[in-house]
Amino acid sequence: MPNVPSDAVRAASTSPPSDSAMAKLMTTARWIEVARIVGVGVVVLLYRSGIVALPVLIGAVVIGLYPLAKVALLDLVRERKIGTEVFVTIATVIAMLGREYIAGAVLMVIILIAEFIAELNTERARASIKALIGSVPQTALVRRDGGDVQVPLPEVRLGEIVLVRAGEKIPVDGIVRSGEASVNQAPITGESMPQEKVPGATVFAGTVVELGALDVETQKVGGDTMFARIVALVETAEESQAPVQRLADRVAAWLIPVVLVFLLAVWFITHDLRMIITLLIFTSPAELGLATPLVVIAAIARAARAGILLKGGIYLEQLAKIQVLAFDKTGTLTVGRPTVVRVELFGETTEPELLQIAAAAERRSSHPLANAIVERAEAMGTNIPEPTEFEVIRGRGVRAEIDGKAVLAGNAAFLADNNVTVPMRAADDDQSLVFVAIEARAIGVLHLADPIRADAKAAIARLRASGIQRIVMLTGDNAATAQRIGAELGVDAVEADLLPDAKVAAIKRLQVGGRLVAMVGDGINDAPALATADVGIAMGVAGTQAAIEAADVALMTDDIGKIADARDIAQRAYRTIRQNLFVGVGVVHILGIMAALLKLIGPVQAAMIHLGPDILVFLNSVRLLRMRLYEAPATAN
């Protein structure tokens, strides 16, 4: 199989729209708009040259102004929205009534060009988002009775085997039935390293087989896949406006009366119609409406590329302002499953021998502790024999016969019941203990616990550095375990032995005084607390529809560092919005108004300058698409 370089694969899935994609943005309606702009421009030039009469110019202006006036009227009546269209319509009409025919026509043409470019750039940004997230193949190679057949994706049936080779994107969600491969899951989970897939592993549509080949049993196709749900979430997230975005809309709504009063005052003082037209252009609130939506779109898309799903702009802003962060323990700060953390030997038995005997006794058990012991033995490369006899004693342990010898594995009480003496040892209240005995003689004890995630401490440090004032742990586990883990991670407070309703009460206490609180959990059993918090963050929800729907922010992997990444993206986005409002709207418009009052510029120059803030806001916003996230320093081997 050919080895496809991972960098090339990632470049293919994150490249900006091509020329052909840009060409698709030029719809019939947009070509009509171009023709109208060019037509009005030509008439203006002909009128200025004396080739056409004034009625022709006025007719061209009416044709050019009609769509702007229509949009302005509909925005005012239906949405009470004040945009550039209102101001341009008023400015053009005033210019015509004041016999500033050339100025009015040129103003309208330049504004039409500016509006067209702004709209096209916004659509291009949305196209970039879809390209950055990735895409799914529209056909699949399916194994059927007559052989392997290439079929359109909608015709792939559940349960069918889809074949995927190196360098190809997986077209369906499913389970690997045969084959092994390295799969780049970045479009779904944001993981930077390829994941090894073997029979029984789950794979997602839109991910790339970098090396190897897989036979995948189809479980979900089309709109039901995880990829489709992610794209749908990203595309609809901008509909949930951030508070700062709603504020911008409210400011734009009351701005027009203030502007009209200001313009009337200037008129009574100066009686200068050209100045009034110029001021109308610079008092337009167009960039106010552009300052936040583009940032929200870009930030949500950047987060999706990193395996972070943000449900909307409102959560983006709240995440940037969070003061308190509450963590569930199990499966969030810890791995979420028991692991052998220490092996204690009695007598001359070696650690490999103890693990081999314990794993052989436990291999038929479905208990989580048994699974952890077997996993540890397998990780050491131990050959695990099959027991000839096996019995589970509920609440105690297991009894087995291995190579003709009686083996016991369980708690201290179980060994005592079977007249096995256990050496005196210090108690570990926050660990589970599995004692092992062979032929009525204790040979060792396995200490099992739910270990802290390797990256948890670093993630908490990053969150503190980002401005989080207080970090607490809320858990249903016992106080001894919770306090030990809390002390090791350096959290500010620990509350243990909490049922779901107690976690909700704890979140409400943290919110006292108007503090914004985020809750991090698994998205299912922590759902009430996630819903109560100002921002609910669910971890490791890839493939879990319920968990994605339960949270405001969903992390597709169990990488706790992505919480800090989400915070970084949110803060950068909020900072970009403020930059847009201050520089793109405030500074440029104030300078423009001053220049107009000093008669340094006229309507035509103002219309040309008006394009500047649009471009500044657009360029500043789309930078978020290329934002670099934190990379943990490499550890020495």
Query: Which residue type sits at 252?
Result: A
CB 297 within 8 A of CB 125: yes
Look up residue 370 and give its two tokens.
């048994």
Catalytic residues: 328
| 434 Rama class: left (phi>0) / alpha (psi -120 to 50) / beta | beta
Angle between helices 226-237 and 293-305 (to 10 degrees): 160
- For 90, the 3-state DSSP assignment is helix
Find all residues with CB under 8 Å of 265, minimum gap 6, and list them: none
CB 552 within 8 A of CB 535: yes
Largest CA-CA distance found in the chain, in angstroms, rounded:
116
- For 471, the 3-state DSSP assignment is strand
Q: What share of the chain is helix, strand, coil (3-state, %, to 5)?
A: 55, 20, 30
Nearest Cα neighbor of 225 from 187, 182, 180, 168 is 187
> Rounded to whole angstroms, how far apart are CA atoms 554 and 557?
9
In eight-state DSSP terms, residue 15 is P
* Residue owning tokens 């306090």: 483
Angle between helices 456-465 and 561-579 (to 10 degrees): 20
CB 560 within 8 A of CB 456: yes
DSSP string, 513-546: TT--EEEEE-SSTTHHHHHHSSEEEE-S-TT-HH
* Residue owning tokens 């986005």: 573
**Quick one: which H or E segment has residue 404?**
none
CB 266 within 8 A of CB 94: no
CB 210 within 8 A of CB 168: no
* Residue owning tokens 């929800």: 541
> Rounded to whole angstroms, how far apart are CA atoms 625 and 164?
30
> Rounded to whole angstroms, how far apart are CA atoms 304 and 566?
10
In eight-state DSSP terms, residue 138 is S
